[in-house]
Structure 1
Amino acid sequence: MKAIIVDDESHARSLLSNTIKEHCKGIEIIAEAENVKEAVKLINKHQIDLVFLDIEMPNENGFALFEYFETPSFETIFCTAYSEYALNAFEVSAIDYLLKPVSISKIQAAVEKAIKTRGQNQILKHINVLRENLTVNQLQKIALPLSDGLLFIKVEEILYFEADGSYTHVITNKEKYMVCKKIKEFHELLSSDSRFFRVHRSYLVNIQQIKKYSKKEGATLQFENSKIIPIAREKKNDFDEYIGKISV
């Protein structure tokens, strides 16, 4: 894959370029750019397959690159020093990023994914979801990996996540999806979202979707779909304290 690095700091470009050349086979760094306009010229000239894109740049940030392409044919890996919330937004939007200072293992993993998804031309859809998630204080959409691609659903519509070995059932108001991802991964992705609480090793629930909280004969939660979920004994005190903070 022909690649370029876009970063306003020459040292950062050089460090990333050397790391990619040494540790990422199949990636050829064609050129470097210090701003978006230079990057656009290089992409058009060399028919670039992969762009390593810094976000925090003067004049135009990295997202501006996509305003120059109606249907981008290149994959993108972002380089960022964003906050924890923003990184969660990247994760749930299914967009790869490298957190500065970058690690070799993360670069290799991001590159491998870019190679696998090459030619799918899905970047604009992912960018739009990411922008939605970055412009508010709560995540708006989450990407679910399905057998034929990714499905973006509104976070507010999720009732709960249910563990099933290496899979997770994602239950919404309308549908039920089974994804090849452990519930632990969803818990980590949504750890900064106050709407979600891990009430049981098998359940991560959206507290805004709870219909009834019963404390009789073991604590349970009931949802609009009539599903009753147990609260683990060791989680009950923490859950009561959490609910107490948000109850009117």
Structure 2
Amino acid sequence: MIRTLLVDDEAHCIATLRWHIEVYCPQVQIIDTYSSGAEGLTGICTHQPDLVFLDIAMPQMSGFDMLQRLAVIDFHVIFTTDYDLRVIHAIRFSALDYIIKPIDKEE
């Protein structure tokens, strides 16, 4: 199983992503979900996930800001965002993938 966290400030985005993962990715176990960067940091330290689905544009702390606060990034990251212009920045964080919202099941 791939131990996974979802971090997004929009509840409907978390619900949609959760549904897609549960239906199409049975090897992925969603450990927990968080609605802010601060909560996401705590969750990463607590659960030590294999994978984090991370929204880029969140209030107070963006996904990029969140990752910069970690001493070590020892998990894979799939960024989720409605902005396709941030892909280069995501690549610099060694993103495993980059999903544009709204999420398409084919992705």
Using the size of structure 2 for normalisation, the TM-score is: 0.86
CA RMSD after TM alignment: 1.8
Contact 2:79-2:90 at 8 Å conserved across structures: no
Distance of 2:34 and 2:5 partners within structure 1: 7
> Which residue matches 1:123?
none
> Which residue matches 2:11?
10
Deviations 1:89-133 (A, max 9, x none): 268656311000111221xxxxxxxxxxxxxxxxxxxxxxxxxxx
Contact 1:90-1:97 at 8 Å conserved across structures: no
Distance of 2:89 and 2:25 partners within structure 1: 22
Contact 2:10-2:35 at 8 Å conserved across structures: yes
> Which has the larger share of strand?
1
Segments of 5+ residues of structure 1 without an aligned counterpart are 107-248
Distance of 1:70 and 1:44 partners within structure 2: 11
> Which residue matches 1:35?
36
Q: Over alpha carbons, which structure has the higher Rg? A: 1
> Which residue matches 2:86?
86
> Which residue matches 1:67?
68
> Which residue matches 1:26?
27
CA drift of 1:81 comes to: 1.0
1:86 alignment partner AA: R
Distance of 1:80 and 1:42 partners within structure 2: 20
> Which residue matches 2:77?
76
SS of aligned partner of 2:106: helix
Segments of 5+ residues of structure 2 without an aligned counterpart are none
Highest RCO, 1 vs 2 (Cα 8 Å, sep ≥ 6): 2
> Which residue matches 1:100?
101
Deviations 1:58-108 (A, max 9, x none): 11111012123212111100001114x434x268656311000111221xx
Identical amino acids, percent of aligned pairs: 33
Give the length in aligned residue pairs: 104
Distance of 2:35 and 2:58 partners within structure 1: 9
Using the size of structure 1 for normalisation, the TM-score is: 0.39
SS of aligned partner of 1:76: strand
Distance of 2:39 and 2:65 partners within structure 1: 12
